[in-house]
Structure 1
Amino acid sequence: MASARTPRQRELFEIAKSYSWVNLKSSGIADETAVVIAEGLKENRNLQMLDLSDNQIGDAGAQAIGAALRKKTKLSVLLLSNNKIGETGARAIAEGLQTSTALTQLGMHTNQIGDAGAQAIGPALRDKAKLSLLHLESNKIGDAGARAIAEGLKTSTTLTKLGMRANLVGDAGAQAIGSVLRNKASLTGLYLDKNTIGDTGARAIADGLQTTTALTELRMNANQIGDAGAQAIGTALRNKANLSLLYLNSNRIGDSGAIAIAEGMQMSTALIDLRMNTNQIGDAGAQAIASTLRNKANLSILYLDENKVGDAGARAVAEGLQVSTALTRLGMDSNRIGHAGAQAIAAALRNKANLSRLSLSNNKIGDTGAQAIAESLQTATALTELGMQTNHIGDAGAQAIGSTLRNKANLSILYLHRNKIGDTGARAIAEGLQTLSALTDFRMNDNQIGDAGAHAIGSALRNKATLSKLSLSNNQISSSAAQLLSQSVPKTCEFSAESQRGSFQDATPPASPSVISTKTAHLSDTPSSPLPTSDSMSQDVRQLQARIAQLELAQQTTNPINSGIPRVPLQVLSQATAQFSESKRIGAGGFGHVYSGVWSGQPVAVKRLAAGSNQGVAQFESELEALSRFRHPNIVTIMCYAQEGNERCLAFELMANGSVRDRLDRKGGTPALSWDQRRNIATSIANAMHFVQTAIPRQPLFHLDLKTDNVLLDAQFNAKVADFGLTRSAPMQVDGQSYVHTQTVQGTLLYICPEYQHEGKVSIKTDVYSYGMILLELVTGQPPSLNLMANVRRELKKSRKVDAVLDKAIDWSIQDKEAAQAMAELASDCLETVRVDRPSFGEILRRLSGKEAAGANEEEAVAGSDRECLVCFNAPTNAKLMPCYHACVCVACAQWMIQRQDKCMICRVPPTSFQEGTFNQTFVQ
């Protein structure tokens, strides 16, 4: 056998045989070579350290290595991370470690161990009293595996770091881990982020951490922790003076939880990295966090993005940061910060010379706030990223920002898109760009930039060899200027300048709507009410409305694809998915295959049309058109598309937790969805469908393939409806009596209602029937079937209870059983054979909310009582756009849209005025 070895294998054999410290990390080792190394290890009696991480070792190689380790009593360090080891290999390694009582470090993260592998490793750890470091991250370990690992760690009193992040650990596993932490006084790092731990598990972990006074790093981000769990963690932190890193981002923590965390951190003067972004923290929570920052002189990173912090909270945070001279990164985007908050933050940044990243995007910052921020950044010469997109910044703010860019030689990312910047501001930004030799990503799309600004930007970018992305779409740039600008950027740069408004590149546009005042028009609630202007003005408005209606109809019949969605070269999506690699394929359907990838720094799912699929072409156009017309938190977001010849691709936001059906099936060993999660999923689907049915008057949208496979879950298990490929819409009255007729019946048989299946009749009650089947799946966990429907109805008829068919994967409380009973009854109503007997989605939302019978208008109020502006998502819908009468934005955003000549996100007609009021529906008649 030795003679058949390659020279490289013979060399590795000798290393494995001879050295006590064998370091073969990142050596391109696969199973065949691993077997050779294992043969060398068998002869090595002095082995103390073996590092085979970052290779391609699978089960066969791991089995050989495991066998070679059986008598290695001196082994103290074993590192096998970043390989392809599964359950079989993990069991072999565990068996090999039985006699290694000197083991201090075991690293097997980023493999495919699963529960079975973890259950084998757990017992192997029982006599490892000296174990100080255990890393099992990214291995698909669930509660069963976590319990086994916890049991194995009971005697490891010297444990300093425990890593189980990015697994499938829920409350049961967390409770086991919490219990075993009680005697781990030396623990310095605990990494449990990216699991499914809720308040129960968080409380157990917090209880276990009470005695770990040496703790320096705690990561529990991307779980399901709410205020109760955060309050327990806050209590556990009170004696953690050495805590330097705390990650609790991407949970469900509100003000009370944030206040408890802040109180717990008072003594943590060593804190350098605090992340509580993507929670539900408002001003009260931010003020509490700010108070604890006053003694954190070494704080380097603070992320509070994607919360509900307004000016009061921002002012407090700014005051707390005054002493943090070491600050390098500050993230407060996607909050509710305006001028006052921005000015306070600016004052706090003046002594932050080391600041490298500042993100204040998606707030309400205008020119005054932008000018203050720009002035404060003058001394921040280390700045590499600046994000101030989706604010209200105009030319004055842009001029200030341009001035401060001149000494930012290291700036690589600059985001100023979705503001109100015109040519003057663009020229100032361009002048500031002259010295930026490291620029890679520059975005100023969705502003008011014309040719003058475009020429200035083009001139500034001519020497930017590192530039990889430039976006200037949705401005006012002519095609000739855009073409000239494209020649100023590197050939490898992803350049976008589509969908220009008011540009010179198109044919003569329709008559200008300038005759309509851009001031607020105080109209009545009905479109037929006369305008409070002169007769000639009213006639002009009526003529314009008729013209708009003609344009809308022409657009629907001749151009189904909305150009507002970015169109990118096919090569861009090919590169994003590693040339549509099989290793990136995450799904398939009638349309074609779906691949994971990264586009513009964001994880995406790319749906690629199968070659020669005529049906797929229609579905591609239908889905692109449907998703370009609607924006809603419970509808999957389309990011971009590609269309070249017969090739068509759609790129969507990547939903980390897959489909509802996969989670109900517990595919991949994932934990069962909790009842709260299922109830939220039911409400989210109903919200999405009610929205698409009522957003455009007399033109409801039909999904026609609504099923649990087409409802996707993000990292926080928020549900979003996807796959609108069979979508249809047609002018009709929005009631249960009306229908349209189709000759083609498509969809999934078990979800199709009788009148659609047998007669081709489609109405607003068609998707309700499909929704009823989804509710049964959520209650029972079972896949759809006629038997499922019959069984639930039989139980309801026999005993008025559905306990016998409830999903046994859930530990049901009495209250949850009652809620499931109500959902099953609602499902039965949705599955009525006669469509007029089915509830509408508005009524469904009312029943899900537990409200009693409502009046005619209350149904709409239930669905829209918490409606937020579809532009900023941070303010109520108190502006009704004119002349289309769509009530879907706030006053500030309505003014912004009119100034930018932007289009209504529902009908794509440019608004020319708006009416103030309280509008809980998208369309108010």
Structure 2
Amino acid sequence: MVSYKKMTKRQREWYDYVKDASEVLSVGANQIGDAEAQAIAGALKVNTTLHKLFLRQNRIGNAGAKAIAEALKVNKTLTDLSLSGNQIGDAGAHTIAEALKVNTTLKEFYLYQNQIGDVGAQAIGEALKVNTTLAGLDLDWNQIGDAGAQAIAEALKENTTLDTLYLSANQIGDAGAKAIAEALKVNKTLTGLDLNRNFLTSTGINALRQTGSTICNSKDLDQQRVPSSVELAQIAARAAANVAEIQQLRAKLATKDQELQQLRSDLAAKDQQLTAKDQALAAKDQALAAKDQELAAQAHKLQSALDRIDVLEHNQAAIGSFSNFDGPVPQVPLATLVSATNNFATDSLLGEGAFGRVYGASLPGPRVAIKKLSAESKQGTVEFKSELDSLSKFRHANIIAILSYAEEGDERCLVYEFMPNGSVRDRLNRKNNTPSLTWAQRHRIAADVARGMHYVQTAFPDHALFHLDLKTDNVLLDAYFNAKVSDFGLVRAAQHLDDKSYLRTQTVQGTAAYMCPEFFDEGRMTIKTDVYAFGMILLELVTAAKPGNRLKEEMRKAVKNQAVLGMLDSALKLTEAERQRVGEFVTLAMECLEGFADDRPSFGQLIAHLDP
């Protein structure tokens, strides 16, 4: 089945419609083709309430029938199914027959007015030998002849559940009728049989009535028809085609046998050559594996150096020297920062957070941002040390770069690279009448944050890191709207953490709107904790709304009701292609916001979805 993300709009509509259906659903004469039938089949695999589904008079062919057949193998609730009046042929009937061998719930199946012939009927006959639940089967108005009827007759000798069988308006003759008559002498469960409007003569009719079965006393048996010239031509053509096909197959088999003999001889010689080559390649593989390990180690070191150099090139003239970027973050005199900010004057203030204020300053080289932590806050001291320790080790294009720090008495300051476009939250609020973010900018911001957080979680092989305060206020934008994650004051570390393990804390800190249930309620942190916060950021990017459970639940309802476009930021002007991308974006956000951590994607998986 095609994934939900790759479905067309019409396919998604049918998938959602059937997935949420309960009890009975009739969608006849809706021009449903194979593509829609495949989407419906996908919904049947997850629906647990639908009992009766009627798809009469549509345009479903073999491909659609195959998809529905696959769904019948796993569906546990459907009891009545109608595919009548469609375009299902022998290939579709064959896949349906395979499903009937394992399905344990279907009781009534309507396949009248399709294009099923002897081959399809023979497959259905084999299925009836093992099926133990089907009570009614309607094959009226198809192209079933004597061979198909004989196969069904053999099944009736073994089947003990079928009570109604409709075979009217097919091409069954006396040979098929005689076979069914023999089966009725054994079968004790069939109470309804319709064979009218076939090609039976008095010979076939008498054979049926002589069985003594009450279902063969109907006058409908006398309502037979003479094959039309068209039908006779079809039957003759099928017979000729079968003979020709058999002859062709025999010729092909003879040729294939000769080819196989030659292949066996060639393979024996090749096998000897390959054995020698395998031994040589095994030795080369060992050498290459050793070389790969060496190159991987070198590449890791090189990429780490390049990431750091990239940051340094943008900030080389800022306070402190980074000529040795493996060393500690340089400390500068507090007086230097006091002077640069005119004693932390109000006109230098850029913003204010929980643990202090941020000021802009002009120093030699590029402009910088200075966070001055509150002298009265004990938690500010913890945050200061945590952020200084974390950012001194990070060198990544999507992580804010720390340039230097000052600490004298109770006064503590951190100096960062300056981000002229402020926070993502400010830009979504259009603070200071700034232009709205374009869709391309929002998409790139999401990808940048995912890359930055993936780096945070994987930067150190012996432990994982939790940001714990990931939010749009802490995602900053440079002059080109590249996003960088900031504010690592609450970061926590855990040794050897995998997908199933967690770290527990008694002190839950952060922003409630971005906290996942297991962290908010129990203080449990996993590698998926920050993924939940990222999901909320994705919803903010498409709606510009305030974060929180209300936004999450409103979007969940909008997705269910196919009303996502109504929740989008009104400032977004989207092309048709971008609208489809937004839908995928929202789906990704809701996956990140799943209540159970195991159901959320990793940042590595998110990068794969978000990268252009």
Normalising by the smaller structure, the TM-score range is: 0.3 to 0.5
* Higher relative contact order (Cα pairs below 8 Å, separated by 6+ residues): 2
TM-score with structure 1 setting the length:
0.32
Which of the pair is proportionally richer in helix? 2
TM-score with structure 2 setting the length:
0.47
**Bigger radius of gyration:** 2
